[in-house]
Structure 1
Amino acid sequence: MRLGVTMFATDRAMPVPELAVAAERRGFTSLYLPEHTHIPVSRATPPPTGDPVLPEEYARTLDPLVALAAAASVTSRIVLGTGVTLIAEREPIVTAKAVATLDHLSGGRVVLGVGFGWNREEAADHGVRWDTRRDRAREHVLAMRALWERDEASYEGEHVRLAPSWAWPKPARPIPVLLGGAAGPTLFRHIAEYGDGWLPIGGAGIRAALPALRDACARAGRDPVPVIAFGTEPTLGKLDHYASLGIEEVVLRLPSGPRDEVLSVLDTYAATYLPARADQTS
């Protein structure tokens, strides 16, 4: 089972290029970064963490694609993922170009984790009506796929209209699109239609949800998709449980903090959960 890491990358946390190098040297498979463009001061939407006050890192989050580009320039193997991109809030033509460019420059190491968001005020500032965010996300991904996969791309939907167009670079290989969110028929229907895997945040409830996900894929005429347990606070028992379910990758949560704090946790994870490390140099 592969192990990756994720961290809220901010202007006060360990620099992403340093984290990417440290994770790659220790043998971690992937590095995922989350996204928030901004956090409106109005807190009409309660924090998803259940805390009375939203943690500061949500407002200080770096742009994940820019940060991952910096990581790509100093690494050669580690997979570079978003966990998750708020794709309904992004203009799809520009985003398709940015993602394809990152994949091209990194030698085909990009995984695009996408989500539908939880912050109504943030979405509203992007002109996204809350009840349309899932439909917008779907169309944005489909339009982006057209730009990645076709020499002459076009798309016609309710929210995206793209006349026949040329756009290069093309990704080095088909970019996996992983959909994040809680288990449910709507999410699983979307995964079966246009996703390449499920990214359950926190990893809870996977066993109970797997049959429904497999059924959704079967109804869409496709094989079961991978499940990547995301943002996990690990224990040996938890990882053994995931392995018994056939989970191929688990992404471990790191603190959003300074270098010494992050490396301490990273070293503990590596020593405890990785069978071997390629390099122990910090």
Structure 2
Amino acid sequence: MTSSQQRPPRRLRIGGDLPYFDSRHELRDYVQAFEELGYDHLGFGEHVLPARAPNWPSGISPCEPWHEAFTQAAFVAALTSRIEIVPSVLLPLRPAGIAAKQAAEIDLFSEGRLRLSVSVGWNREEVRALGADPATRGRLLEEQVEVMRLLWTEPHVTYRGKLIEIVDVAVNPRPERPVPVWMGGGDFEGGGVPGPVVLDRMARIADGYKMFGPLMRDVDAGLDVIRRLRALVAEHGRDPEDFGVEARIPLQLLPEDAWIERLETWRRAGATHITLSNRRGAGGANAEIARLTRFRELTDGLW
């Protein structure tokens, strides 16, 4: 691409997490305020059958109000009209056909506002309890993504993989576009850094990378992950400029006077999206809405 053909810079998109509120009324108030404040995307994770494993991080419990991701995505879609909806889905916990159908429905009903983030899940006991083999969940996820993309675009699909086989089936109605599929990776013990196999998988088949929460605490490690991932994308013959990167800013942990510096650090590293991480909802919906309002005021004109 010559200098005269260079693309205009992408607008940096700023969004956030949906905190773990116990009350559905707080969830509603937060979601609606979030959109009214002008943010771009709203993300949330899931656990379906959280297991009481010893490796839960400090301050987070399997007893948190975890909602199933597609159900919560439908809830958010019904409350909003503009923001992008970004559920982080533990894909191997459900059949590819079910996930493809649920994603297609949400994308249609939200008028094309779904961005799906998928991962294998760090809680092996939960994976096993829902019928998936922790040892093969990475390979299963790759086949699932391939199958879902076929179901979203083809009138009938036959697929024979090592772990999935479907014959002459269809999703109807199909979404009006292929749903973007981003990927997350990493675990708590490793500080949220994806391993080499996971990084390579993202670079080969994902539309973008969604940073796992623990990595936001270590900026140098996060910058290294982004650098390595963009290099791998290029090695696989893809354009890094077409590959999305969602970094994170821990609003509850970082002082206000460091917010802009952190935003610009991720922007320079090639982030296309930034999520304001505040999943623990300290102080309830009103306190979190006030924090979002303050960030908007301080960064006005930067995104």
TM-score range relative to shorter protein: 0.7 to 0.9
Report the equivalent of 1:280.
Answer: none
Report the equivalent of 2:70.
Answer: 65
Asked if 1:117 corresponds to 2:121, the answer is yes
Moved more, 221-230 or 259-268: 259-268
Q: Determine helix, strand or coil for the equivalent of 2:239.
A: coil
Instruction: Output the CA distance in 1 between the equivalents of 2:299 and 2:18.
Output: 18
Q: Determine helix, strand or coil for the equivalent of 2:79.
A: coil
Residues 35 and 82 in structure 2, CA contact (< 8 A), matched pair in contact too: yes
Segments of 5+ residues of structure 2 without an aligned counterpart are 1-11, 186-192
Letter in structure 1 aligned against 2:94:
R
User: In 2 relative to 1, CA 69–9 (structure 1 residues): closer, same or farther, beyond 3 Å?
Assistant: farther
TM-score (norm 1): 0.87
Count of aligned pairs between the two proteins: 270
Report the equivalent of 2:260.
Answer: 236
Shift of 1:231: 6.1
Shift of 1:212: 2.4
**Residues 81-129 of structure 1: CA deviation (Å, up to 9, x unaligned):** 01x2111112211111111000000000000011121111111101222
Residues 13 and 40 in structure 2, CA contact (< 8 A), matched pair in contact too: yes
The residue correspondences of 1:65-104 to structure 2 (distance < 5 A) are 65-82=70-87, 84-104=88-108
Match of 1:207 among 223, 234, 237: 223
User: In 2 relative to 1, CA 171–106 (structure 1 residues): closer, same or farther, beyond 3 Å?
Assistant: same
Instruction: Output the CA distance in 2 between the equivalents of 1:158 and 1:138.
Output: 11
Runs (4 or more) in structure 1 with deviation over 4 Å come to none
Shift of 1:166: 2.0
User: In 2 relative to 1, CA 159–21 (structure 1 residues): closer, same or farther, beyond 3 Å?
Assistant: same
Q: Identity over the aligned pairs, expressed in percent?
A: 26
Match of 1:251 among 275, 278, 287: 275
Q: Determine helix, strand or coil for the equivalent of 2:201.
A: helix
Report the equivalent of 2:239.
Answer: 223
Report the equivalent of 2:33.
Answer: 22
Asked if 1:268 corresponds to 2:277, the answer is no
Residues 2 and 249 in structure 1, CA contact (< 8 A), matched pair in contact too: yes
Q: Determine helix, strand or coil for the equivalent of 2:244.
A: coil
Instruction: Output the CA distance in 2 between the equivalents of 1:97 and 1:231.
Output: 32
**Residues 123-169 of structure 1: CA deviation (Å, up to 9, x unaligned):** 11012222111111111111111111111122211221111212112
- Tell me the C-alpha RMSD between the 2 structures: 2.2
Asked if 1:55 corresponds to 2:55, the answer is no
TM-score (norm 2): 0.81
User: In 2 relative to 1, CA 13–231 (structure 1 residues): closer, same or farther, beyond 3 Å?
Assistant: farther
Letter in structure 1 aligned against 2:264:
D
Q: Highest relative contact order (Cα 8 Å, sep 6+), 1 or 2?
A: 1
**Residues 187-236 of structure 1: CA deviation (Å, up to 9, x unaligned):** 22211222101112244423223342233222322111121114643622
Instruction: Output the CA distance in 2 between the equivalents of 1:65 and 1:18.
Output: 20
User: In 2 relative to 1, CA 180–273 (structure 1 residues): closer, same or farther, beyond 3 Å?
Assistant: same
Letter in structure 2 aligned against 1:214:
R
Q: Determine helix, strand or coil for the equivalent of 1:162.
A: strand
Instruction: Output the CA distance in 2 between the equivalents of 1:54 and 1:9.
Output: 10
Residues 146 and 154 in structure 1, CA contact (< 8 A), matched pair in contact too: no
The residue correspondences of 1:118-157 to structure 2 (distance < 5 A) are 118-157=122-161
Asked if 1:195 corresponds to 2:221, the answer is no
User: In 2 relative to 1, CA 9–194 (structure 1 residues): closer, same or farther, beyond 3 Å?
Assistant: same
Asked if 1:166 corresponds to 2:166, the answer is no
Moved more, 266-275 or 192-201: 266-275
Shift of 1:35: 0.7
